[in-house]
C-alpha cells in the first residue's frame, strides 16, 4: 500500500488490544493497516542476553530518548521515568509478558453495585455483563493458545476446557498445595498463555523459564506476534508498519475519525485515511494520543467532552513475599526429579471477595505463586538490594554461592484491585518532549489508601502460606505491599452508557467521535484483581465483531 492511502481500518498498536481487531477484520475481508511504534522483531532476535533484553532498551526506551514523566503523591515537579512503558515492538506487551491468563469475575464488573461505592474512589460498573465477554474469552484463548485445567478453582465461573493441558510444574508445587490446603485455601494450576504442546505450527514450550521480560525464541509464548499477527498478514489484506509513531488522530468537521498522522522511521510525516480508526497503544499512550490530537475545535483533546480522557488511570495493586528454602531439604522430601523446571504454576483466589475481612472494601485479589525469576543478574542485584546494598565483597559472593547452589526461592505476587480516583491520572507533560518533539505522557500517581490497606492484608495472608510450607523456610519475608505494577494499566478512556461519565460507549466507540474506537486496557472502568491481558484480548475480539458488522 502506498502512503497517504485509504484503507478500511487503521489500527494503532499491535498488542493485545490491536492485534485481535486487525486479524478479525482482515480475515473478514477488510483492508487493514497496523501502525506500530516499535521494531518488528523476529524470534531470531529473542536471545537470552539478560543485559540487552532486560536491562537496556531492547523493549523499553531509554530515558533520554523517549521517557514518561511521573509525579508521585501530589508532587509539583515531574521526573523522567521508564515506568508505564510496555514493550515497544510489534506484538506490544504480549511479547514480554509472563502470560498469567486469569479471567475476570462477576464482582470485577459490578464493583460499584456490590459495594455501594467506596469513599474517594470513582468506581463504575461495566456496561456489559460477564456473560457477554465469556464467548470472546473462549475465542481469544483458542486463537492464541492457553494452557490450563478447568474445574479446579472453585472461585472460577464455569467455563469450557482450556485449549491446551496445563504446563508442567516444579515439584515444589506439591509443597505449596499442601501448605495452602492446610490453611483452607484452594490452590489451582495457573493458566498460562504458553503452548504446553504443539499448537498449529508452534512448538511446545521448552521450559527455558525466560518468559517474563523476554521474547520467546521458541514461538511458544502466545504473544500476538506469534499467534494473531501472522494470521492477519496471511490474509494479504493486513500490512504492519513498524517504527511508525502516530502523532494525531484526524477528525473531520462532522466529528468523524478519518485517519491518523504518523512519523515514519525516516522521520517523515505520513498519513493513513480509514473508514475506522482503532487506538490500542496502551492505556497511557492512547490517552496521550487523544490529548495530543487537540485542535481549535477540541481544545482539550478529542473524544474528551466528558473531561475523562486520561482520568481514572489504574494499574494493578502489587504485593510480594519470598520464602527462602534449603534446596537439600526440598530434594530430601521430593527427590531430585524435575528440579530444573522453572515454573511453580500455583494460584489461589480464595480471597478474591472478602466482605468479612473488615477492610475498606470487600474486594481482594489473586495470589500467584512462582519461583524466583531465573535471571542471574537480577538475582544478584536483589541480593545486594535486600541488604540495602550493605552486603558486598566476599559476603556478597558467599551470598550468591548460597542463592545459586543451596536455596530455592518460592515467591508469591498479589494482584489486587487498583482503585480509580482523583489521585491517579495521565496528562501531557507541559515541559518534557520525546525524540519526535511530542509532549510525553505524565503519570500522576497516588495510591488510594483503601487499596493499600487491602494489599497489605493480602500480602500477610500470602506470607501465611509460605510459612506453612514444610520443610520450613529458612526465611520468609515480605518484599513489598501496596505497590504498583505499572505495565498492567487501564481506565484512561473508560466505557459506559452515559457520555457525561465515560469516554467510550459500550462497543468501545468514542461517544464524541464517530468511527473512533479504543481497544487496549483504557476501556476498563475498574482494574480487576488479575492481569488484564486476556480481558483486553477478549474485548478486542468483541469490538472487532461490532466493527465488522458495521463495515458490512
> Closer CB to other proteins, residue 130 or residue 174?
174
Q: How far is the CB of 476 from other proteins (least distance, A)?
A: 23
The grid coordinates of residue 319 equal 504485593
**Is residue 50 near other proteins by the rule CB under 8 A?**
yes
Residue with cell 532486560: 54
Binders of other proteins among 159-198, rule CB under 8 A? 166, 168-169, 171, 173-174, 189
Min CB(35)–other proteins separation in Å: 18
Choices 71-79, 331-339, 418-426, 521-529 (CB under 8 A): range interacting with other proteins: 331-339
**Distance between CA 489 and CA 93 in Å, rounded?**
11
CB of 380 to other proteins, least distance (A): 4
One residue of 40, 155, 207, 273 binding other proteins per CB under 8 A: 207
Q: Does 271 bind other proteins (CB under 8 A)?
A: no
Q: Which stretch binds other proteins (CB under 8 A): 391-399, 417-425, 469-477, 491-499?
A: 391-399
What is the closest distance, in whole angstroms, from the C-beta atom of residue 65 to other proteins in the complex? Answer: 6
Q: How many residues bind other proteins (CB under 8 A)?
A: 59
Residue 139 CB coordination number (10 Å): 18
The angle at the Cα of 16, spanning 289 to 153, to the nearest 5 degrees, equals: 135
| DSSP of 192-213 | BSB-SS-BTTBPPP------TT
Of 43, 435, 358, 21, the closest CA to residue 208 belongs to 43
Query: Binder to other proteins among 183, 234, 390, 460 (CB under 8 A)?
Result: 390
Which of 119, 157, 381, 460 contacts other proteins by CB under 8 A?
Answer: 381
Count of alpha carbons within 13 angstroms of residue 479, beta-carbon side: 21
Among residues 379, 514, 503, 526, the alpha carbon closest in space to that of 448 is found at: 526
Residue closer to other proteins (CB basis): 62 or 501: 62
Exposure letters 299-337 (e unless 16+ CB within 10 A, then b): eebbbbbbebbbbbbbbbbbbbbbbbbbeeebeeebeee
Using the 8-state DSSP alphabet, how is residue 487 labeled?
E
- Judged by beta carbon, residue 48 or residue 456, the one nearer other proteins is 48
φ, ψ at 113 (rounded to 5°):
-65, -45
Give me the 143-162 binding string for other proteins, x by CB under 8 A, dash otherwise: ------x--x----------
Q: Does 57 bind other proteins (CB under 8 A)?
A: yes
Pick the stretch among 21-29, 48-56, 77-85, 465-473 that binds other proteins (CB under 8 A).
Answer: 48-56
- In the complex with other proteins, the residue whose CB is nearer, 46 or 136, is 46
Q: Which of residues 341-380 bind other proteins (CB under 8 A)?
A: 341-342, 374-377, 380
Closest contact distance (angstroms) between CB of 459 and other proteins is: 26
Q: Toward other proteins, which CB reaches closer, 219 or 525?
A: 219
| Cross-strand partners of 269 | 263
**Residues 6 or more apart in contact with residue 333 via CB below 8 angstroms:** 175, 470, 471
Position 331 contacts other proteins (CB under 8 A): no
Under rule CB under 8 A, residue 230 binds other proteins: no
- State in angstroms the smallest separation of the CB of 242 from other proteins: 11
Q: Which is nearer to other proteins, 163 or 525 (CB)?
A: 163
CA 490 – CA 527 distance, rounded (Å): 6
CB atoms within 10 A of CB 65: 9
| Identified binder of other proteins from the candidate list 400, 402, 471, 479, rule CB under 8 A | 400
Please report whether residue 500 would count as binding other proteins according to CB under 8 A. Answer: no
State the SS3 of 455-472.
Answer: HHHHHHHHHHHHHHCCCC
- Least separation in angstroms between residue 238's CB and other proteins is 24
Closest approach, Cβ 377 to other proteins, in A, equals 5
51 binds other proteins (CB under 8 A): yes
| Residue from the set 2, 65, 77, 116 that interacts with other proteins by CB under 8 A | 65
- Quote the CA–CA distance of 25 and 27 in Å, as a whole number: 5
Residue 370, class by beta-carbon neighbours within 10 Å (0-12 exposed, 13-18 middle, 19+ buried)? buried
* CA angle (128 as vertex; 123, 129 as ends), nearest 5: 100
Tell me the window of 50-58, 94-102, 221-229, 460-468 that interacts with other proteins (CB under 8 A): 50-58
Q: Phi and psi of 9, rounded to 5°?
A: -140, 135
Residue 460 phi, psi (nearest 5): -65, -40
- Torsion angles phi and psi, residue 516, rounded to 5: -110, 120
Q: How far is the CB of 49 from other proteins (least distance, A)?
A: 5
Q: How far is the CB of 14 from other proteins (least distance, A)?
A: 19
The interface region with other proteins, picked from 14-22, 108-116, 387-395, 541-549 by CB under 8 A, is 387-395
Residue given cell 488484564 in the structure block: 532
Q: Which is nearer to other proteins, 190 or 222 (CB)?
A: 190
Rounded least distance, CB 534 to other proteins, Å: 20
Phi-psi region of 66 (alpha: psi -120 to 50; beta: other; left: phi over 0): beta
Please give the Cα distance from 139 to 104 (Å, whole number): 15
Q: Residue 348, Cβ neighbours under 10 Å: how many? A: 25
Q: How many CB atoms lie within 10 A of CB 113?
A: 12
Q: Looking at 63, 294, 329, 357, which residue binds other proteins (CB under 8 A)?
A: 63
> Per CB under 8 A, does 299 bind other proteins?
no
| The three three-digit cell numbers of residue 38, written as one number | 516499535
Give the binding site for other proteins (CB under 8 A): 39, 45, 47-52, 55-58, 62-65, 149, 152, 166, 168-169, 171, 173-174, 189, 204-210, 217-218, 334, 337-338, 340-342, 374-377, 380-381, 384, 388-390, 392-394, 396-397, 400-401, 404-405
Amino acid at each position: 500500500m502506498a502512503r497517504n492511502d485509504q484503507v478500511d481500518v487503521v489500527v494503532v498498536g499491535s498488542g493485545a488490544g490491536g492485534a485481535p481487531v486487525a486479524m478479525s477484520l482482515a480475515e473478514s475481508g477488510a483492508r487493514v493497516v497496523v501502525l506500530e511504534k516499535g521494531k518488528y522483531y523476529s524470534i531470531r532476535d529473542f536471545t537470552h542476553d539478560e543485559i540487552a533484553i532486560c536491562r537496556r532498551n531492547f523493549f523499553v526506551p531509554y530515558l533520554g530518548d523517549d521517557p514518561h514523566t511521573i509525579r508521585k503523591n501530589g508532587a509539583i515537579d515531574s521526573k523522567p521515568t521508564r515506568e508505564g512503558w510496555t514493550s515497544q515492538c510489534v506484538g506490544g506487551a504480549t511479547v514480554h509478558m509472563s502470560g498469567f491468563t486469569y479471567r475476570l469475575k462477576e464482582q470485577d464488573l459490578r464493583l460499584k453495585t456490590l459495594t455501594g461505592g467506596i469513599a474517594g474512589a470513582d468506581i463504575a460498573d461495566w456496561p456489559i455483563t460477564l456473560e457477554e465477554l465469556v464467548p470472546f474469552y473462549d475465542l481469544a484463548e483458542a486463537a492464541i493458545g492457553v494452557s490450563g485445567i478447568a474445574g479446579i478453582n472453585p472461585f472460577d465461573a464455569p467455563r469450557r476446557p482450556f485449549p491446551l493441558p496445563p504446563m508442567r510444574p516444579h515439584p515444589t508445587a506439591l509443597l505449596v498445595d499442601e501448605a495452602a490446603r492446610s490453611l483452607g485455601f484452594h490452590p489451582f494450576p495457573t493458566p498460562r498463555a504458553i503452548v504446553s504442546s504443539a499448537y498449529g505450527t508452534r512448538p511446545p514450550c521448552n521450559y527455558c523459564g525466560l518468559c517474563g521480560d523476554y521474547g520467546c525464541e521458541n514461538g511458544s509464548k502466545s504473544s500476538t506476534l506469534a499467534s494473531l499477527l501472522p494470521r492477519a498478514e496471511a490474509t494479504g489484506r493486513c500490512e504492519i508498519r513498524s517504527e511508525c509513531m502516530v502523532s494525531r488522530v484526524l477528525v473531520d468537521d462532522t466529528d468523524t475519525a478519518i485517519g491518523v498522522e504518523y512519523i515514519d522511521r525516516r522521520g517523515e510525516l505520513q498519513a493513513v485515511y480509514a473508514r475506522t480508526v482503532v487506538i490500542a497503544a496502551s492505556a497511557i499512550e492512547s490517552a496521550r494520543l487523544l490529548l495530543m490530537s487537540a485542535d481549535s475545535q477540541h481544545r482539550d483533546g478529542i473524544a474528551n467532552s466528558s473531561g475523562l480522557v486520561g482520568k481514572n488511570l489504574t494499574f494493578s495493586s502489587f504485593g510480594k513475599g519470598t520464602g527462602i528454602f534449603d534446596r537439600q531439604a526440598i530434594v530430601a522430601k521430593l527427590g531430585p526429579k524435575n528440579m530444573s523446571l522453572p515454573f511453580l504454576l500455583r494460584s489461589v483466589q480464595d480471597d478474591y471477595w472478602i466482605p468479612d475481612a473488615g477492610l475498606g472494601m470487600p474486594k481482594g485479589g489473586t495470589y500467584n505463586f512462582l519461583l524466583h525469576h531465573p535471571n542471574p543478574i537480577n538475582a544478584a542485584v536483589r541480593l545486594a538490594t535486600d541488604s540495602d546494598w550493605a552486603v558486598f565483597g566476599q559476603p556478597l559472593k558467599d551470598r550468591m554461592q548460597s542463592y545459586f547452589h543451596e536455596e530455592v526461592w518460592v515467591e508469591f505476587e498479589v494482584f489486587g484491585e487498583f482503585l480509580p480516583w482523583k489521585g491517579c491520572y495521565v496528562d501531557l507533560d507541559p515541559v518534557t518532549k520525546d525524540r519526535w518533539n511530542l509532549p510525553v505522557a505524565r503519570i500522576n500517581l497516588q495510591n488510594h489508601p483503601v487499596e493499600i490497606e487491602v494489599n497489605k492484608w493480602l500480602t500477610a495472608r500470602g506470607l501465611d502460606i509460605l510459612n506453612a510450607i514444610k520443610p520450613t523456610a529458612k526465611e520468609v519475608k515480605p518484599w513489598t505491599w501496596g505497590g504498583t505494577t505499572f505495565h498492567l494499566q487501564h481506565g484512561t478512556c473508560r466505557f459506559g452508557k452515559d457520555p457525561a461519565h465515560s469516554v467510550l460507549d459500550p462497543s468501545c466507540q468514542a461517544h464524541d467521535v464517530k468511527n473512533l474506537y479504543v481497544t487496549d486496557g483504557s476501556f476498563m472502568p475498574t482494574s480487576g484483581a488479575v492481569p488484564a491481558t486476556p480481558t483486553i484480548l477478549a474485548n478486542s475480539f468483541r469490538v472487532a465483531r461490532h466493527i465488522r458488522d458495521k463495515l458490512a
